[in-house]
Structure 1
Amino acid sequence: MSALAPPSAEMPPGTRVVLDGVDWETYVRLADAPDTECFRFTFDEPTGRLEMERQGGFLHEVTSAAIALLTTAFARERGIRTHGVGSLSLRRPGSGGADPDESFYISSFDRLPARDTNVPDLERELPPDLVIEVDVTSPGVSKLPIYARLGVKEVWVWAEDALVCHRLNDAGEYDATTDSGELPGFPLAFAAELIRQRPDAADAELQDALIARLRENRGGPPG
């Protein structure tokens, strides 16, 4: 497996390649190869299963960007400090690794990783508190178990035109919840409605619509 060649950048956006029997060294070599910046890697080390996805599919990217915009608009309106780190690579030997679509430090805002490295050392540093995953097509490798082993507190998954929050429990597994622990009161259902019904809206228009809903429902349950 050590002679495995990196994927070709000529592959169409959204293309996924899944390999079995991959070891840690091969995963890191491929993920760090100079010609693979346009790929996201998901590696489940206990099973040796590696997924390589070519970035750039339009629907995937605009959906991911919209969720991030709404996340930051909510945090600003509620006075919550966040630090977005995009698709920061997360890895830990023995657990695996993944490249989120978007990610944020929120409850761990004051414990950001060192800025002199491209990949945080998760043996010493904390992963982002919130990760966003957009599944436009069926994934080849399940990411939730990997994020759980990496210690990510919360994962929002966009699938089938819905936004679902998964919160890490004391047993080290994710529970689907109706409210975010990192951004309490975030209107998951309304955010999904905005993304579905206003695909051509300007960024500011999406953010303004979310803020207007928050101000209308101030003090009420998320919706």
Structure 2
Amino acid sequence: MVTLQLRQLDVPPGQRLLIHDVDWSEFEQILNELGEKRTARIAYSQKTLEIRMPLPKHEREKSIIGDLVKIILEELEIDCECFGSTTFKRQEMGYGIEPDECFYIQNHQVMVGKERIDLSVDPPPDLAIEVDVTSKTQMESYISLAVPELWLCDRGELKIYTLQSGQYQSVSTSPTFPGLPILDLVADVLTQSSTIGRSPALRAFRKQIRNLNSQISYGD
């Protein structure tokens, strides 16, 4: 049997590496060896570990979509706690996942000041964002994590999923932002960012949300 060290493995940008029959202690060791300051993302489900290296386009899109959510929350004065690409894992359920972006919105109060997450007592994020997800391992991990709302962006097209009876179902409206045409808004900003640039596109988006907010009534 040949044993390889992680430093011997090279995952090219845009590619994924699947490692099978990885038990929990090995998963923890791999996380420690990879460290926190890295660009690679991981997903772990039922002893299958996936390591993926995002492309620059992926990082650009996930950053823009994350910024859009933050702008909406700020303009609508909705409190949140943002945990970015935090590693969420739980041994007894055999899964781990690192979202591209994630937010505690409905549950933001219980996460204020948290520096470490313990999923045996802490809730999962209310909203997670992933770009270019085609992996069964990732989706299984999100189902196990029980994130109620998941945004998946594939080739510039956003889809919204909500967890219903243990499975994700595609919906046309975000339950977190029910008064906003999120799918159209995200598509427009991603297109504009490629033509006029990121900053002008986000500034225009903020003005648009302010205008829409004057027409929308949000309850508590």
Partner letter of residue 157 of structure 1? L
1:172 corresponds to:
166
CA RMSD of aligned residues (A): 2.5
1:210 corresponds to:
205
1:130 corresponds to:
127
How far is 1:67 from its partner? 0.2
How far is 1:4 from its partner? 5.5
Partner letter of residue 166 of structure 2? G
Unaligned runs of 5+ in 2: none
Partner letter of residue 91 of structure 1? K
Unaligned runs of 5+ in 1: none
2:56 corresponds to:
58
Partner letter of residue 60 of structure 2? V
Partner letter of residue 131 of structure 1? A
1:20 corresponds to:
20
The 8 Å contact of residues 102 and 131 in structure 1, kept in 2 or not, is answered as: yes
How far is 1:20 from its partner? 1.7
* Cα gap change, 1:130 to 1:67, in 2 (>3 Å): same
Partner letter of residue 106 of structure 1? I
SS for the counterpart of 1:67 is: helix
* Count of matched residue pairs: 211
Using the alignment, how far apart are the partners of 1:63 and 1:54 within structure 2? Answer: 15
Aligned with residue 121 of structure 1, among 111, 118, 122: 118
Aligned with residue 88 of structure 2, among 87, 90, 102: 90
The 8 Å contact of residues 41 and 53 in structure 2, kept in 1 or not, is answered as: yes
- Give the TM-score normalised by structure 1: 0.83
The 8 Å contact of residues 193 and 200 in structure 2, kept in 1 or not, is answered as: no
How far does the alpha carbon of each residue in 1:104-139 deviate from its partner, in whole angstroms, 9 at most, with x for none?
A: 11111101176343xx2111111211110001xx64
Using the alignment, how far apart are the partners of 2:43 and 2:6 within structure 1? Answer: 14
1:71 corresponds to:
69
Partner letter of residue 41 of structure 2? R
- Give the TM-score normalised by structure 2: 0.84
Matches within 5 A, 1:191-202: 191-199=186-194, 201-202=196-197
SS for the counterpart of 1:199 is: helix
Partner letter of residue 50 of structure 1? L
Using the alignment, how far apart are the partners of 1:23 and 1:146 within structure 2? Answer: 15
How far is 1:82 from its partner? 1.8
Deviates more, 1:66-75 or 1:19-28: 19-28
* Cα gap change, 1:173 to 1:34, in 2 (>3 Å): closer
How far is 1:100 from its partner? 0.6
Using the alignment, how far apart are the partners of 1:207 and 1:91 within structure 2? Answer: 33
The 8 Å contact of residues 130 and 155 in structure 1, kept in 2 or not, is answered as: yes
How far is 1:85 from its partner? 1.1
SS for the counterpart of 1:193 is: helix
The 8 Å contact of residues 130 and 152 in structure 1, kept in 2 or not, is answered as: yes
SS for the counterpart of 1:198 is: helix
The 8 Å contact of residues 150 and 161 in structure 2, kept in 1 or not, is answered as: yes
How far is 1:34 from its partner? 4.8
SS for the counterpart of 1:18 is: strand
How far is 1:200 from its partner? 5.3
The 8 Å contact of residues 102 and 128 in structure 2, kept in 1 or not, is answered as: yes
2:42 corresponds to:
41
The 8 Å contact of residues 101 and 130 in structure 2, kept in 1 or not, is answered as: yes
* Cα gap change, 1:54 to 1:116, in 2 (>3 Å): same
How far does the alpha carbon of each residue in 1:1-40 deviate from its partner, in whole angstroms, 9 at most, with x for none?
A: 9x65325585433331112222222112111215574221
2:160 is the counterpart of 1:162: no
Higher normalized helix content (fraction of residues): 2
